[in-house]
Amino acid sequence: MQQTIIANARYWLNLLDARTEDDLIPTSDIRAVAVALEALMRAPEAWPLTLSLAFALHPRMERRGYWADWDGFLDVLTVRAQQRSDRTAEAELLARRGEIQRQRGDYPAAEISYRRAWRLCRRSGDEIGRARALSNLGDLYRLQGHFRRAEVLCRGALALFEAMGDTERMAYTENHLGLICYYLGRWSDALPHLSRSRLLWQQTSDRHGLAKTLQNLGLVHRRIGSIEKALDFFREAMHNYRAVGDEIHAARTQINVGNIYLNQSDLLRAERAYTQAEEVLNRVGDTIDLARVRNNLGMVYTRLNNWDEAKACFERALEQWRNRGDTWNLANTLGELSGLHLACGCWAEAQTCLDEAWALVSAQSGVRYDSLRSELAGRRQELRRLAGLD
């Protein structure tokens, strides 16, 4: 029986190895590989084959959004690696698990996984793994708004990757640095990082990595006012994501397209972009981006005078931000909800929202908070004018 299990696993491993990560694999095959992998876990002597099949399956599980099940499976594999004192496998499994936890929005868990991987790599002298952990931690800090810390880690990782000539990881880390500069408001610094990342991805022929950088180039061009260029980058990114079967990142990029339409007051096209993204994100349980979509749909419905739908969207977003303790997004959505109350003439409700939002951001520092405080101050002034308090 075990020989049959091992032979079946080798068949699926050969099939995956014969294709690049960007090749589309039918869902039925993905499920069959997962079944083969689960059966292989019952054959302890096949540990190397188990790892090889798990690592080959990993990018497919990540892109399909099978995050919860795969996170649990990687946890089991990590425990087995510890029991076998296989530190190399343990570090690699922790790095992969951190990727999944990051996708799920569980940043504290991802940080623990990345830090554990970094410590193991440092002890074993694995410079590639250590640099990778630094890059991953840097991007994780960027997601949590710790931009200076993120930049230090990513620059350190980039120097290590350059010394090793690791083109793929250089591309990843240049992309991280471009995003860090973007969120720090240093757009002229972001473009060279992202442009270099794009060139590096083209050298590796990695369409998925290229799509990430194209998306971020769209963000920067939108910020500097090159709207048509931004849309071109977003569309090219979505094309590449869909070509490799990643509907989740395509949906995330579609949010950015909706944002452009919203800023242009093309409300029906914005609504269409957001609702199409919402359908995908809801299916995979991407709560963070669902909250962003619903915040932006609330803005669309406010402008369309669809008060009930707007309020429902804002409240769903607020629930997620409160659950996560996300101060900036919570304050931002409260500000948008106050705008709805202003439009409805509900002065007391608007005041309540603005008071809570101001209390959240008043002691915070950074470019994003400065901008949000300025926006909230404008809303408070508008409330005073409309309510006849001036």
CATH of the domain at 368: 1.25.40.10
Answer yes or no: is 105 within a domain.
no
| CA atoms of 261 and 17, how far apart (whole Å) | 42
| CA atoms of 138 and 143, how far apart (whole Å) | 9
34-54: average pLDDT? 89
Q: How many CB atoms lie within 10 A of CB 309?
A: 14
Answer yes or no: is 330 within a domain.
yes
- For residues 311 and 298, is the Cβ–Cβ distance under 8 A? yes
Please check the confidence at residue 165 and state whether its pLDDT lies above 80: yes
Cα angle vertex 121, ends 117, 124, to 5°? Answer: 140
142-168: average pLDDT? 93
- Mention every residue, 6+ apart, whose C-beta is less than 8 A from residue 278: 290, 293, 294, 297
pTM for this predicted structure: 0.80
Q: What are 181's two structure tokens?
A: 């500069």
Please check the confidence at residue 24 and state whether its pLDDT lies above 80: no
Please check the confidence at residue 385 and state whether its pLDDT lies above 80: yes
pLDDT number for residue 41? 86
**Residue 43, SS3 per DSSP:** coil
Q: Percent of the chain scored above 90 by pLDDT?
A: 71
Answer yes or no: is 220 within a domain.
no
Q: Where in the sequence is the domain holding 351, given as residue range(s)?
A: 295-390
Q: What are 274's two structure tokens?
A: 């957001």
Question: Helices (DSSP H) in the chain: which residue ranges?
Answer: 2-17, 27-40, 47-64, 67-83, 87-104, 107-124, 127-143, 147-164, 167-183, 187-204, 207-223, 227-243, 247-263, 267-284, 287-303, 307-324, 327-344, 347-361, 367-386
Please check the confidence at residue 170 and state whether its pLDDT lies above 60: yes
208-237: average pLDDT? 96
Answer yes or no: is 374 within a domain.
yes
Q: Which of 138, 137, 136 is nearest to 150 (CA)?
A: 138
- The CA–CA distances, whole Å, from 296 to 39, 328, 352 equal 45, 15, 21
Q: For the chain, what's the residue count? A: 390
Confidence of residue 111 (pLDDT cuts 50, 70, 90): very high
Q: Which amino acid would we find at residue 222? A: R
| CA atoms of 199 and 176, how far apart (whole Å) | 15
Phi then psi for 324, rounded to 5 degrees? -90, -10
Answer yes or no: is 338 within a domain.
yes
pLDDT number for residue 229? 97
pLDDT number for residue 69? 87
Q: Which of 94, 108, 71 is nearest to 284 (CA)?
A: 71
Answer yes or no: is 149 within a domain.
no
Q: Which amino acid would we find at residue 79? A: V
Confidence of residue 255 (pLDDT cuts 50, 70, 90): very high
Confidence of residue 390 (pLDDT cuts 50, 70, 90): low
Confidence of residue 208 (pLDDT cuts 50, 70, 90): very high
Token pair 């059966």: residue:
39
| CA atoms of 313 and 362, how far apart (whole Å) | 25
The gap from C-alpha 309 to its chain's centroid, in whole angstroms, comes to: 27
| CA atoms of 212 and 204, how far apart (whole Å) | 14
Answer yes or no: is 365 within a domain.
yes
Buried b (16+ CB within 10 A) or exposed e, 147-178: beebbebbebbbebbeeeebbebbbbbbbbbb
49-59: average pLDDT? 91
> What would the DSSP string read from start to end of 48-111?
HHHHHHHHHHHHHHHHHT-HHHHHHHHHHHHHHHHHTT-HHHHHHHHHHHHHHHHHHT-HHHHH
Q: Which residue has the higher pLDDT, 285 or 280?
A: 280
Domain count, the chain: 1
Answer yes or no: is 388 within a domain.
yes
Angle between helices 67-83 and 87-104 (to 10 degrees): 160
pLDDT number for residue 94? 96
